[in-house]
Structures are given as C-alpha cells and as structure tokens.
Structure 1
Amino acid sequence: MKKLNFFWNQLTSTFWFVPSLIIVGTIGIAILSIYIDGLVEISHRGLSRYLFIDSADSARSILTTISGAMIGVAGTVFSITLVALTLASSQFGPRLIKNFMYDRLNQVVLGSYVATYIYCLIILNTIKENGEMDFLPSISILLSLLAALSNIILLIVFIHHIATTIQADMVISDISESLNKNLNVLFPEKIGEEHGEDHEPKEQEIKESYSNRMQVKAPKSGYLQYINNDSLLQKVNEMDGIIELHYRPGDYVVFSVEVATIYTNTDLSDEQVLYFTNQIIISETRNKYQDAEHSIHQMVEIAVRALSPGVNDPYTAISCIDNLTSTMCYLTTVKFPSKYRYNEDGDLRVIADALTYEGMLDAAFNQIRQFASGSPSVVIRLLEALITIHEFTYRPHYKRAVKIHAQMVLNMASDSFDEHNDFIDVKKRSQQIFGEGSDQ
C-alpha cells in the first residue's frame, strides 16, 4: 500500500496529471450538459431571454470567441510559467524548477484554459439549425460563458501568484514549510514519547550465525528514491533472515553496486532476490518522500548561490539560515529511528542506514559555512543560529555536534575576517556556547 501511495504522490506531482484530469472531467460535463439540453426546453421569455441564446449564429459566434480566447490565454499562461521557471533556475538553482512545476495552482490554471477550449469545441459541434433538425444547447452555452468569466478571474489570481512565488523569501518559506511537514511524517515520535529503549545488538555475531549471504544489486544507476520497508520486513521475517541496507533514500547508487545484503539459512531463488530488488526504487532525480535531507539541500543551494560573487545577496542566505535553524531546533525534540528494526517477537530483521542528528546538522550548515567566508554578517548569523540550537539541545552528543560546528565557524572567522572588530563580535558570541573564559 505504501508503495502505491508513493507512485500516487509521484503521479500527482507531475505537471500534466492535474490538467489531464480537468480536461477529462470537462469532457464529461460537456456530455452531461448536452444531455440536459436535450431534455429541457428553455423558454426565451422574461429574464431568461437575457441569459440564454436563441440564435444559432450568435451561439456559434460566442463559442468561437471564447474558444479562441481561451487557447490564446493558455499559450500566455504557458509562456509566463516558462519565464518563472527560467528566473527560478537562474536565481535559485535548476533543482528548484520542480517546486514550481508541482505548484497546484499552475497546473489548475493551465488545465482550466485548455479544458474550456475543448468544452467550447464540443458544444460548438452540437449546434444544429437546418430543416430536419434544430438543436441549440442554451444551458451548455451559458456554462461556457460562466467558465470564461471564471477563467478571467483565475488569470488575475495566477499573475498575482506567479509574482509572489518567485520572491526569494516566499520560495524559502515554501521549502521550509514542505520540509517541516516531511519531517513530521518521517519523525513522528517526540523525545520522551518513544516506547522502550533502543539497544545495540551484537550485529556481527548475528550476521555470522546465518549460513547464506545473498547480494541485492542496483538494477541501474541513479538516486535511491524509495525503499518499501514494510514489505522488506515482512519478507525477511517469513524467511527467518536479516536484510542489511547499505544506502538510504537520497543516496546515489551505481549500476550493479550492492545496495543490500540478505542473511538467511536457506538458499534464495532468483525470483526471491528479484522481489527484494523491486522493493527499491531508483530514479534520475531525488525526491522528498523518504529523503529528509532533500529539502535541506534545496535551501542550502539557495544560500550558497546567494553567497556567490556573481549574486552577493547575504540577506537571502541569512533567511535560509533562519529557516534551517527552526528545522534543526525541531529535530532536537524528535526521536531519530534506530538502524535496527525488529519483528513482533523482538527478532532483528532489518539493519538500515539510518539518519542521525549530526548528519542533518552537517547537511544544513557545512556548505553555507564554507561559502560564507567573505561575508561577516552571514557568519555572525550562522553562529547565532548555532547558539539557538545549542539552547534547545540537551542530549550530550547533540551538544558536541553543535560545538564542533561553532568551532569551525570560529576558525573560519579567524582566518578570513579582515576587520578585527568583526572577529571580536564572533568570539563574544561563541562564549555562549563554549562558556565564559574559554580559550576557544
């Protein structure tokens, strides 16, 4: 089921799926409205004469005008979208283009205009005025007028939306919101809410207790997008074995590299090995569904590009640091999943390549620190971010990781700052992490 949910999320994230659904739905509405027009006779007296068309020539003229306008505006919408994608690619990086393509409003707008065009063509084809048969779909024509009016309003909303979404602060905010939602799914347990204590099994001894060792190799090169953990756990439990995963979602794997190792006491058939291979999805790009560091890397990319000499935008980098600080403070409160997964009887079944807080902290701040050497304001904000994270952290190994980063920031400031007073500012702030009187 989770694998189906993954494919469904992938499908709904494509640029064409939602417009296609709108078009298919509109064709159904067109058929239904024509059917209703065939059942209902419209009186063109009183108020209804201002709402319904009573002339075939007028109906054709209206539908032709609407259809021509809609397909023209659809081209304009597509052009505006391409301009936004070009700006996003040059300013924020090509990997962020997906965020704009997956924007639901962009998909709905494009689908609505193309669907209205197709709707008008279908209705236009049903108008008959000859000696044998007269048919004027008045209700359907009224619906096309309402659709045209709605699309005009939708165009205004779309232009406002595009102008808003390409702003740096809004892009960073959207990534941060998506990251926080993803972390809530990947790390549902809070510290203090977990059941029982993790224990380190004698991993090597357990693996050596099995007589057979089988490799699961990557079927192609690419990024590991998804691992169906539930199916793997269920299958190795049935075989009374263990599977060790050497990579996690987000890692790049090379064709035929060993992505997992299965330990059993029975020989495995080629079909069984193929089953394990099919539970691992590899693609050309990364995604966020199981990759907790994906959105962090997107935000880091924006900060690094902002710190490049060609852009030189420290305010955008500082905004990225602020949002990453919020994320890392949240991660101090969650329980990172253990690399060891057990069945209901407490038997070890899966050894995974698990995420760690230290690794997430490295992903968030290492590259920003490396590119911020020429910007004292960014370095100072980076150290302030570490101070905030240090205040939220109470686990000793988390604190050690924060202190390591603070020391690297302090070392970099000592080597790169031209103004001595700037370094004094950084050193004073570092005392909040290392303590007063520290020689750091």
Structure 2
Amino acid sequence: MQNILFFFKRLKATFWFVPVLIIILTIFLSIGLVSLDHAITFSQDGLGRFFIVNSADSARSILTTISAAMIGVAGTVFSITLVALTLASSQFGPRLIRNFMYIRLNQVVLGSYISTYLYCLFVLNAIKESDGYTFIPSLSILVAIFVAFINIILLIVFIHQIATSIQADKVISDISEIIFKQIDTLFPEEMGANWEGKKESAVDDIKSKYTNSISIQSQKSGYLQYINNEGLLGDVCSFDGLLELYFKPGDHLVERIEIGTVYTNETVDEETLKSIHNQFVIGKTKSAQQDLVFSIHQMVEIASRALSPGVNDPFTANACIDNLTTTMCRLSQVPFPSKYRVDEEGKLRIVVDMLEFEDYLDASFNQIRQFSAGSIAVILKLMDALITINVFAKKELYKKALVKHAQMVLNVGNESLTEENDRANLRERSKKILPE
C-alpha cells in the first residue's frame, strides 16, 4: 500500500498527469452534455433568447472562435512556463525545477486550455444541419462560453502566479513550507521507543542467536528514493528474523552493493526475498518523500549560488539561513525516530540507518559557511542562527553540535575578515554560545 502511495505522489508531481486527467474528464463531459441536449429542449423565450443559440452557423462560429483562442493561449501558457523554468534553473539551480512542476495551478491552467479546445471540437462535431433535421447543442455551447470566461480569469491568475513564483523570497518560503510538511510526516512519533537507549552490544547479542545470514543486494544503480517500512516489517516477521539496513533514502546505490543483511534461523524462500527487494524504490534522481536532506540542500543551493562571486547576493543567502534556522529549531524539538523497529510483541525486527540532529545541522550550514568567507553579513547571520537554535535545543548532544559549528563560523570570520571591528563584533556575538 505504501508503495502505491509513493508512486501516486510521484505521478501527481509530473507535469502531464493533471492535464491528461482534465482532458479525459472533459471528453466525458462533452459526451454527457451533448446527450443531455438531445434529451432536453431549451426554451428560447424570455431571457433564453439572449443565451440560447438558435442558428447552426452561429453555433459553429462561437465554438470555432473559442477553440482557436484556447489552443493559441495554451501555446502561450506553455511558453511562459518554459521561460519561468529556465529562469528558475539558472538563478536557483536545476534541482528546483521539480518544485515548479509541483505547482498545481500551472498544471490546471495548461490542462484547462487544452481540454476546452478539445471540448469545442467534440461539440462542434455534434452540430447537425440537413434537410428536415437540425440539432444545435445549446447547453453544451453555453457551457463552452462559460468555460471560456473562466479561462480568461485563470490566465490572469496564472500570470500573477508566474510573476511571484520566481521571486527569491517566494521560492525560499515555498521550500521552507515543504520542509515543515516533511518534518510533520517523517517525525510523527517515536518509533521503537522501547529500544531507545540500549547499547549496540544488545543488537549484536540478538544477531548472534540467528544461525543464517542472507545478504540483500541492490538490484540496480541509482538513488534510494523510498523504503516501505511496513512492508519490510511484515516480510521479516513472516520468517521470524532480523533485518539490518546499511543505507537510507537519499543514498546512492551501486548495482549489487550490499544494502542490508537478513538474520534468520529458517530458510527464506525466493518469493519472500523478492518481496523484500520490492520494498526498496531505486530511481535515477533523488526524491524528497523520505529524504529531508534533499529539501534542505535545495535551500543550501540557493544560498551557495547567491554567495558566488558572479552573483554576490548576501540578502538571498541570509533569507535562506533564516528559514534553515526555523527548520533546525523545529528539529531540535521533535522526537527523532529510533533506528530500531519492533513488532507488536516488542521483538526487534529491523535496524535502520538514521540521520541525527547533527547530520541535519551539517547539511544546513556546512556549505553555506564554506562559501561565506569574506562576507561579514552572512558570517554574522550564521552565528546569530546558531545562537537562536541553541536557545531551543535542550539536549546536551545538540548543544555540543551547535558549539562545534559556532567555533567553525568564528574561525572562518577570523581568517577571512580583514576589518578588526568586524572580527570583534563576531567574537562578541560568539560569547553567547561558545564556552569561555
């Protein structure tokens, strides 16, 4: 079930799925409305004479005008979208193109114009005028006029959306929102909490009780995008064994590399081993569904590009640091899942490779710090960010990681800043987090 949800989310992220879905629904809508026109005769008295078409030539003229206009605007919309994607790729990085493809409005607008064009063609084909028989689908034509009006409004909204979506602050804000949604999904509760705090030697003792070990190898090269934890747990429980994983979502795998080991006292059949392999989704690119670092690196990439000599935009870099600070403050308060997965009886079944708070801290600030040499505004912002996170971090392990990063920021400032007053300002701020 989890695998199906994963692929469905991937499908929704494509640029073609929603437009194709709208087109299919439009085809059925056109057939249904034409059938309704066959069954119902609309009065042309009163207000009806202003809206109901009573001439086959007028009906064809209206539908032809709408269809020609819609296919023309569809080409314009597609061109504007490509220009926006090109600007986003050059300014913020090619990995951010996927975020723009996620924007549902862009997909709906493209699908709406193409589907309206097809709708008009279907209704136009239904108009019949011959000796003794005339059929004009009045309701269908009225719907086409109404949809054309809606599409005009959509075009205005679409242009506004494109104009705002390529602004640096908006892009950074959108990534931050995605990160927060990921945190809520990936850190909902403590998993395997009853194993929390146990020594690694306890796991070694459990592994030693099994007589057989089976190597689980990657079926192909690529990035580990998704692990179906529930499916793995069910497979391991089926033969009363233990599975130890050596990779996590986001890691790059090489074909036939060992990604885990199964420990068991029973013989595991080929069908079960195949099922275990099927719980891992490996693709050509990284995916953000189970990889929070992927989204963090998107923010870091924007900051790194902003700090390049050719751009030199510390304001954008500082905006990224502000949002990463919020992310790390949130991570400092959520319960990190345990690397141990147990069954309903509390028996250890899976040992996974997990990232800790310091790993996310490294992913957030290491590269920005390395590119910030000589930029006093960014260096001071990094120090302030670590001071803010330190206020929210309650665990001693977290505080040690923050002190290490603060010391590295201080070292960069002392080595790269030429103005003594700037270095003194940095040292004064560092006293709020670094020990005396």
Q: TM-score range by the shorter chain?
A: over 0.9
The question of 1:199 aligning with 2:198 is answered yes
Cα distance in 2, alignment partners of residues 31 and 351 from structure 1: 55
Query: SS in structure 2 opposite 1:434?
Result: coil
Aligned twin of 2:425 = 425
For residues 357-368 of structure 1, what are the structure 2 equivalents within 5 Å? 357-368=357-368
Question: In the TM superposition, what are the counterparts of 1:255-274 in structure 2 within 5 Å?
Answer: 255-274=255-274
- Greater mean deviation of Cα atoms: 81-90 or 267-276: 267-276
1:178-229 alpha-carbon deviations (Å, 9 max, x no partner):
10011011111389xx778543351222222211111111111111010011
Which residue matches 1:237? 237
Question: Contact between 1:13 and 1:102, CA under 8 Å: does it hold in 2?
Answer: yes
Taking the aligned partners of 2:103 and 2:243, their CA distance within structure 1 comes to: 38
Amino acid of the residue matched to residue 409 of structure 1?
Answer: V
**Superposition deviation, residue 402 in structure 1:** 0.2
Deviation, structure 1 residue 240: 1.2
Match of residue 129 from structure 1: 129
Provide the aligned C-alpha RMSD in A.
Answer: 1.4
Alpha-carbon separation, structure 1, partners of 2:344 and 2:30: 54
Residue 304 of structure 1 is matched in structure 2 by 304
Q: Structure 2 CA distance, aligned partners of 1:165 and 1:186?
A: 27
Give 1:271 shift: 2.5
3-state SS of 1:432 partner: coil
Partners of 1:165 and 1:171 within 8 A in 2: yes
Task: Provide the rounded CA distance (Å) in 2 between the counterparts of 1:36 and 1:342.
Answer: 58
**CA–CA distance in 1 between the matches of 2:47 and 2:151?**
25
- The answer to whether the 8 A contact 1:337-1:355 is kept is no
Aligned to 1:341: 341
Unaligned runs of 5+ in 1: none
- Superposition deviation, residue 86 in structure 1: 0.1
Q: For the residues of structure 2 that align with 1:82 and 1:123, how far apart are their CA atoms?
A: 31
Asked if the contact 2:190/2:336 (under 8 Å) is kept, the reply is: no
Moved more, 8-17 or 400-409: 8-17
- Report whether the alignment pairs 1:313 with 2:317: no
Distance 1:46 1:348 in 2: 77
Which one-letter code corresponds to 2:236 in the other structure?
V
Aligned-partner Cα distance in 2 for 1:234–1:275: 10
| Secondary structure of 2:406 counterpart | helix
Take 2:380 and 2:286, find their aligned partners in 1: how far apart are those partners? 32
Match of 1:162 in 2: 162
Q: Which residue of 1 aligns with 2:75?
A: 75
Q: Alpha-carbon deviation of 1:257?
A: 0.6
Corresponding residue for 1:215?
215
Distance 2:81 2:194 in 1: 48
Shift of residue 134, structure 1, vs aligned partner: 1.1
1:87·1:166 contact (CA, 8 Å) conserved in 2?
A: yes
TM-score (norm 2): 0.97
- Secondary structure of the residue that 1:220 maps to in structure 2? coil
Letter in 2 for 1:345: E
Q: CA separation in 2, counterparts of 1:344 and 1:46?
A: 71
* Counterpart secondary structure, 2:292: coil
Question: 2: distance between equivalents of 1:90 and 1:329?
Answer: 30
TM-score when scaled to structure 1?
A: 0.96
Q: Distance in 2 between matches of 1:382 and 1:203?
A: 39
Whether the aligned pair in 2 keeps the contact of 1:64 and 1:120 (CA below 8 Å) is yes
Distance (whole Å) between structure 2 residues aligned to residue 358 and residue 278 of structure 1: 31
TM-aligned CA deviation for residue 267 of structure 1: 2.7
Task: After TM superposition, give the deviation of residue 266 of structure 1 in Å.
Answer: 2.1
Asked if the contact 1:190/1:333 (under 8 Å) is kept, the reply is no
1:110 is matched with 110
Q: Which amino acid aligns with 1:285?
A: T
Distance in 1, Cα, partners of 2:108 & 2:117: 14
Instruction: Measure, in 1, the Cα distance between the counterparts of 2:43 and 2:194.
Output: 71
